[in-house]
A and B are shown apart, each in its own frame.
Chain A
Amino acid sequence: MSPRAVAGPEIQRILALVPWIVAHPGAAKAELAQRFGITVDQLDADLLLVLMIGIPPYSPGDYLDVIDDGEHVSIRLAESFRRPLRLSPAEGLALLAAGRALLAVPGSDPHGPLAIALDKLEDALELPGLVVDVGQPELLAQVRDAVARHERVEIDYWSAGRDDTTTRVIDPTVVFFATGEWYVSAFCHRARDERMFRIDRIRALRPTGETFEPETTATDPGETFNPRADDPRVTLELTPAAAWVAEAYPTESVTERADGSLEIVLAVSERAWLERLLVRLGPDARVLGPPEFLGVATAAAQRILRRYSHTRSTRLATGRPDT
Chain B
Amino acid sequence: MPDAPSRIERVLNLLALLLDTRVPLTREEIVHEVGGYPAQISANRRAFERDKETLRGMGVPLTTESIGDTGELGYRVRPDDYYLPDLGLTPEETAALRVAVSAVALGEVTAHGEGALMKLGGITTEPVAPIASLPIAPALATLFDAFRHRAVVQFTHRGRMRTVEPWGLTSTRGRWYVVGYDRDRQAVRAFRADRIDGDVEVGEPEAFTVPADFRPDDHVQSRPWLMGDEQPVAARVRVDAGHADAMLAELGADATVIAEHPDATVIEVAITNRAAFRVFVLGFLDHAEVLEPAQLRDDVVGWLETVAKSAS
Is B133's CB under 8 angstroms from A222's CB?
A: yes
Q: Does B147 contact A (CB under 8 A)?
A: yes
Residues of chain B within 8 A of A8, CB atoms compared = 2-3, 7-8, 11, 54
Among the stretches B37-45, B64-72, B225-233, B279-287, the one at the interface with A is B279-287
Is A102's CB under 8 angstroms from B118's CB?
A: no
Q: What is the 8 Å Cβ interface bit string for chain A, positions 193-206, against chain B (1 contact, 0 not)? A: 00000001101000
Q: Does B295 contact A (CB under 8 A)?
A: no
Q: Does A257 contact B (CB under 8 A)?
A: no
From B17, B217, B279, B306, contact of A56 by CB (8 A)? B17
Grouping DSSP codes into helix (H, G, I), strand (E, B) and loop, the B interface class, with mixed when no group exceeds half, is helix
Complex-state Cα separation, A79 to B17, whole angstroms:
12
Residues of chain A within 8 A of B113, CB atoms compared = 91, 94-95, 98
> Known contacts A86-B84, A105-B131, A222-B105; is A302 also within 8 Å of B308 by CB?
yes
Residues of chain B within 8 A of A81, CB atoms compared = 16, 19
- Which residues on A are within 8 Å of B, measured CB to CB? 3-4, 6-16, 20, 32, 34-37, 45, 48-49, 52-56, 79-95, 97-99, 101-103, 105, 112-114, 116-118, 120-121, 124-135, 137-138, 158, 163, 165, 174-181, 200-201, 203, 221-222, 272, 275-276, 278-280, 282-283, 286-288, 294-295, 297-298, 300-308, 311, 322-323
> Known contacts A52-B9, A117-B96; is A86 also within 8 Å of B82 by CB?
yes
> Known contacts A37-B122, A55-B17, A91-B116; is A98 also within 8 Å of B90 by CB?
no
Shortest C-beta distance, B100 to chain A (Å), equals 4
> Known contacts A11-B3, A86-B81, A201-B246; is A322 also within 8 Å of B132 by CB?
no
Complex-state Cα separation, A234 to B121, whole angstroms:
53
Residues of chain B within 8 A of A99, CB atoms compared = 96-97, 100
Shortest C-beta distance, B236 to chain A (Å), equals 7
- Which residues on B are within 8 Å of A, measured CB to CB? 2-3, 5, 7-9, 11-13, 15-17, 19-20, 33, 50, 53-55, 57-61, 79, 81-90, 92-97, 99-101, 103-106, 109-110, 112-113, 115-124, 129-136, 140-142, 144-145, 147-148, 168-175, 215-217, 236, 238, 242-243, 245-246, 249, 258-259, 266, 279, 282-283, 285-287, 289, 291, 297, 300-301, 303-312
